[in-house]
């Protein structure tokens, strides 16, 4: 009939054939280019994508095409939710989707999947990231030291975002600082003598994590395990982690 019902045939690496509407298929710039510069009736080979992955990708493209064209009554928030669920897959699938989106040049899908991976890295400590992605740490101790030294300026503090260092302050000043800040993490310096009263006052503040760097470890209040880290600055910092209630 009209050009809206033109179909394009796609053959995947495992020899599966998909027939899709042109409007859906040309979300991929690669397919669009091949279609426009080749024989319109022939089958397009997508060598690097398997049937399962292509099927998922076509679902994505269809959803987005329909929502943009108004064929489906879906609000931007609902589409956002749908996208969020779309990427709730195992890592194998996620990375296959990334590679396929890259190869097929589907920008919005590539953005979505890369953002998902970025969210899995953000705010995590290196050990956690290695565990998540099965990255093997092949640094020798000396090499790791060297990297930390080289990037000391980036490794200097735990957490980064919203970390506040309080040094040599009186109790009430400290609690004032904490009240006025949006910080989530508060580090008290090694030589600070902090009264337990202040710590609990701080801890009662909404979701503030209090880290203490004392010379002597352990008090009975500590609920979580003591974590020890050598940050290459020559002394050992001990972190007491209080999680406090909202």
CB of 117 to other proteins, least distance (A): 5
The H or E element containing residue 227 is strand 227-230
Binder among 156, 172, 207, 219 for other proteins (CB under 8 A):
156
- What DSSP string runs through 136-158? -----HHHHHHHHHHTHHHHSSS
Residue 152: phi, psi to the nearest 5?
-50, -40
Binder among 16, 148, 205, 241 for other proteins (CB under 8 A):
148
Q: Among the candidate windows 12-20, 32-40, 51-59, 153-161, which touches other proteins by CB under 8 A? A: 153-161
Identify residues 81-100 at the interface with other proteins (CB under 8 A).
90-92, 95, 98-99
Which segments of 105-195 does DSSP mark as H helices, in order? 107-121, 126-133, 141-150, 152-155, 171-180
Identify residues 128-147 at the interface with other proteins (CB under 8 A).
129-130, 133-139, 143-144, 147
Identify residues 40-79 at the interface with other proteins (CB under 8 A).
none
Number of other CB atoms surrounding residue 57 within 10 Å: 24
CB of 62 to other proteins, least distance (A): 24
As a whole number of angstroms, the distance between CA 26 and CA 18 comes to 14
Identify residues 9-38 at the interface with other proteins (CB under 8 A).
none
Identify residues 103-122 at the interface with other proteins (CB under 8 A).
110-111, 114-115, 117-118, 121-122
As a whole number of angstroms, the distance between CA 108 and CA 163 comes to 34
* Nearer of residues 23 and 110 to other proteins, judged by Cβ: 110
Tokens describing residue 211: 């880290």
Residue 36: phi, psi to the nearest 5?
-75, -20
Residues 6+ away with beta carbon under 8 Å from 110: 98, 101, 102
Binder among 154, 193, 196, 246 for other proteins (CB under 8 A):
154
| Residue 157 engages other proteins in binding (rule: CB under 8 A) | yes
| Residue 190 engages other proteins in binding (rule: CB under 8 A) | no
- The site for other proteins (CB under 8 A) is made up of 90-92, 95, 98-99, 102, 110-111, 114-115, 117-118, 121-123, 126, 129-130, 133-139, 143-144, 147-148, 150-151, 153-157, 160-166, 177, 181, 183
């Amino acid at each position: 009939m009209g050009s809206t019902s033109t179909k394009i045939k796609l053959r995947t690496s495992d020899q599966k054939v998909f027939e899709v509407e042109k409007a859906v298929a040309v979300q991929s710039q690669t397919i669009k280019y091949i279609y426009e510069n080749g024989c319109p009736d022939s089958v397009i080979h997508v060598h690097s994508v398997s049937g399962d992955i292509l099927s998922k990708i076509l679902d994505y493209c269809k959803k987005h095409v329909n929502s943009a064209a108004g064929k489906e009554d879906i609000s931007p928030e609902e589409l956002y939710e749908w996208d969020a669920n779309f990427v709730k897959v195992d890592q194998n699938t996620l990375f296959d989707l990334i590679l396929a989106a890259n190869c097929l040049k589907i920008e919005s899908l590539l953005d979505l999947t890369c953002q998902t991976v970025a969210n899995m890295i953000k705010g995590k400590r290196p050990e956690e990231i290695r565990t998540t992605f099965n990255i093997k740490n092949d640094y020798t101790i000396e090499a790791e030291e060297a990297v930390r030294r080289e990037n000391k300026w980036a490794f200097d503090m735990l957490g980064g975002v919203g970390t506040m260092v309080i040094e040599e302050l009186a109790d009430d000043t400290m609690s004032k600082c904490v009240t006025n800040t949006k910080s989530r993490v508060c580090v008290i310096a090694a030589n600070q003598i902090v009264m337990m009263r202040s710590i609990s006052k701080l801890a009662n503040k909404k979701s503030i994590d209090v880290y203490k760097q004392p010379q002597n470890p352990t008090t009975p209040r500590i609920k979580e395990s003591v974590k020890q880290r050598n940050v290459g600055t020559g002394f050992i910092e001990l972190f007491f982690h209080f999680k406090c209630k909202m």
